[in-house]
Chains A and B, each alone.
Chain A
Amino acid sequence: MTLLLAQADFPHAMHQLTLGHYLVVSALMFGIGLVGFVTRRNLIVMFLCTELMFQGAGIALVALSRYWLNHTGEAFVIFVLTVAAAEAALALALVVLLFRRRETLDASRWAELKG
């Protein structure tokens, strides 16, 4: 099984965490968020899924920052947090506005917004 899972000329992969482990987890987190954003019809859950995608990006940033042994990536995560907070404030205000107008959170009820 070990031979099946890991390539023989990369022996450290089985003994030690590498950058790739974190990047795979980050890609999976991003993908789950993307699937949720496309499938769910509740506006609030759709915005939760964008936060999941932010999380995936954040894991990649921190892992790369640790890999290169400097702190620029971690400082960038602060901006991801800032953008997430701003997005949450604005998007949730919009959601409240839309809900008041039509008493529903169904994204497909607002299909005319696509222009």
Chain B
Amino acid sequence: MDLVNPYVLYAGLVVGAVGLAMVLPRPGTSPRLLGGIIAVAGLGLLLLALGVARTEAAPRVMFYVFSAIGLGAAVRVISHPRPVYAALYFILTILATSGLFLILSAEFMAFALIIVYAGAILITYLFVIMLATESPTAEEAEALAEYDRHSREPVMAVVLGLLLVATLTTAVLHGSARLGLPRAAGEPVVGGRLAQMPRKVESELRERGLLGADQTLAVNRDGGLVPAAGGGGVEVVTRGASPEAPRAAVALPADLTLTNTEGVAFAFLAEHPGSVEIAGVVLLMAMVGAVVLARKKVELEEAGAGGPGARGEA
């Protein structure tokens, strides 16, 4: 069955869409404040429909807080007439999304998102926004460009977006409700990966006092740990013991699991090694392309005073 009553969902979407159409920049006096209130009401109705009525555990409250911040900032990104503020609101969206990633126990992606997006991409955006604005005269420094004040066909676009989101959410809720609930407790268990990290396992075992001072973990030819014959542990080499004697075994503690970063590293580097190269090539091509595109033609003639190349030197 559905996660929420579909009619509540559609009502929330319609109210939110009406508000969104009102906050978009348009000629004349636009009812922005009223539109904002309506949009917030619609989004709030949606989040309510997703079950904010009863709050017991902290992660649930944080989910709704982060979702509300992220979606509200996203609305401001597309409705703020000044591009600089739109970019700043986008940074707020990034931060809220990182919060959602943290709730999903994806720490690595959360911080990578902040570093790459908020740290690098958005700074590029801000620089380009500052470079590519018409230099205003003194009296119209506060005036906005005409294309920032008026948006293009807001009603049609909002209706289109409403239809898309309604279709998407209906399909998603039907499908995901059929999938059932996830395994909620505990970290993701990635089978077999721990055996490829003998140093981590050894230092963890030493920290917990499970491994004696004269003991090391047995390592096979590939550098992985050797599972004990009885199962449920790994073999241990004791210094000074004869090589023929049966090796001792130590059981791994249940809470010794891969961290999120290690899991992403295995998924990224061990399972898809070629993709790293492809990503590197894509980035290199983008960098070369950007340099070629944005390069300014250098005027070789020094005497070109008054020419187009000399503009802005004063």
Interface residues of A (CB under 8 A from B): 1-2, 4-7, 9-10, 12-25, 27-36, 38-42, 44-45, 47-49, 51-52, 55, 58-59, 62-63, 65-67, 69-72, 74-75, 77-79, 81-90, 92-97, 99, 103-109
Contacts and interface: CB of A to CB of B under 8 A. Distances in A.
Contacts of B70: 25, 29, 55
Contacts of B179: 19, 67
19 contacts: A2-B54, A23-B169, A25-B100, A27-B165, A29-B71, A35-B78, A38-B153, A38-B160, A40-B78, A40-B152, A41-B152, A45-B77, A59-B100, A62-B100, A71-B190, A75-B275, A77-B109, A82-B282, A89-B290
Contacts of A94: 293
Interface residues of B, number: 107
A96 B5 contact: no
Contacts of B219: none
A76 B101 CA distance: 14
Nearest to A47: B125
Contacts, number: 309
Contacts of A85: 116, 120-121, 283, 286
Query: What is the predominant secondary structure among interface residues of chain B facing chain A?
Result: helix
Interface of B: 1-5, 8, 20, 24, 43, 46, 48-51, 53-54, 56, 59-60, 63, 67, 70-71, 74-75, 77-78, 83, 86-87, 90, 93-94, 97, 100-101, 103-106, 108-109, 112-113, 116-117, 120-121, 124-125, 128-129, 131-134, 145-148, 150-154, 156-158, 160-162, 164-165, 168-169, 172-173, 176-177, 179, 181-184, 188-190, 260, 263-264, 266-268, 271-272, 275, 279, 282-283, 285-287, 289-291, 293-294
